[in-house]
Amino acid sequence: MSDPALPELVDSHCHLDFPDFDGQQADLIARANAAGVRRMVTICTRMHKEPAVRALAEAHEGVFYAAGIHPMYAAEEPPISVEELVLLARHPKFVGIGETGLDYHYTAESAAVQAESLRVHIEAARRTGLPLIIHSRDADEDMARILTEEHRVGAFSCVMHCYTSGPQLARTAIDLGFYLSMSGIAAFPRSTEIREIFATVPRDRILVETDAPYLAPPPYRGKRNEPAYVVHTARIGAEALGMSPAEFAALTTANFDRLFSKAAA
């Protein structure tokens, strides 16, 4: 049971199907609710796992889901078509396309396959009207180029999840009308540059997330992350923006409802 006095927060990106959480999802969701985190989007990163992720969303009222092929798996997973993603999007709790994107940190050798997959996901976002969920690591120039090229073809909505890239890609994303999402990395003491980037972003373009089970914010850094811990990232985000935690919670929840309108309360 959640405390109605707590400001509502949304964890806009987590992975409840990952093995770290096996058999514990109901307890995780209960702890999140008790902390004021009443909704969350669980993200499918490999399409053969989509039925299990969908089942989690179906089983829990405040859980929604998105699906796509993570760029690190783009070369090993069977490619998905635009039509397949559009068909999945008919589900009432399917609220976003992805995560997709570019990751040159570990998988630069598959850059061409990643770009092809990204463009498929973009077209699906364009056709469905659902937001694209982007993962970008060590690929700022190519990411900015592809997003700009594709936006000229036809508009689509998008969130740059777990934003840790530089100020130029942030400016490109904002100029295209996109959103940036703050993860636990932004709460690390040495993440001054990331917090400074968020402080310059229009406030109506900021989301907050955990990326659980990864990237736990202090005081849980180095431990398994979970949706309830988005409260700690939100507290640091509020400080970076000169807001109260309640104001930051209201802001990011309103932003989430605008972008992920299918999951709006």
**Is 140 marked as binding a ligand?**
no
**Is 116 marked as binding a ligand?**
no
Q: Which helix (H) or strand (E) holds 107?
A: helix 104-107
Cis omega (within 30 of 0) for bond into 217: no
Q: Are 219 and 211 in contact (CB under 8 A)?
A: no
CB-based contacts of 55, cutoff 8 Å, min separation 6: none
Q: Cα 169–171–175 angle (5° rounding)?
A: 120
Strand order in the sheet with 37-44: 9-14, 37-44, 63-67, 94-103, 132-137, 158-160, 179-182, 206-208
Q: At what angle do helices 167-175 and 140-153 cross, to 10 degrees?
A: 10
Structure tokens at 200: 């310059």
**Is 70 marked as binding a ligand?**
no
**Is 105 marked as binding a ligand?**
no
Maximum Cα–Cα distance across the chain: 50
- Which parts are annotated binding residues? 13, 15, 99, 135, 161, 211
Residues of each annotated binding site for a divalent metal cation: 13, 15, 99, 135, 161, 211
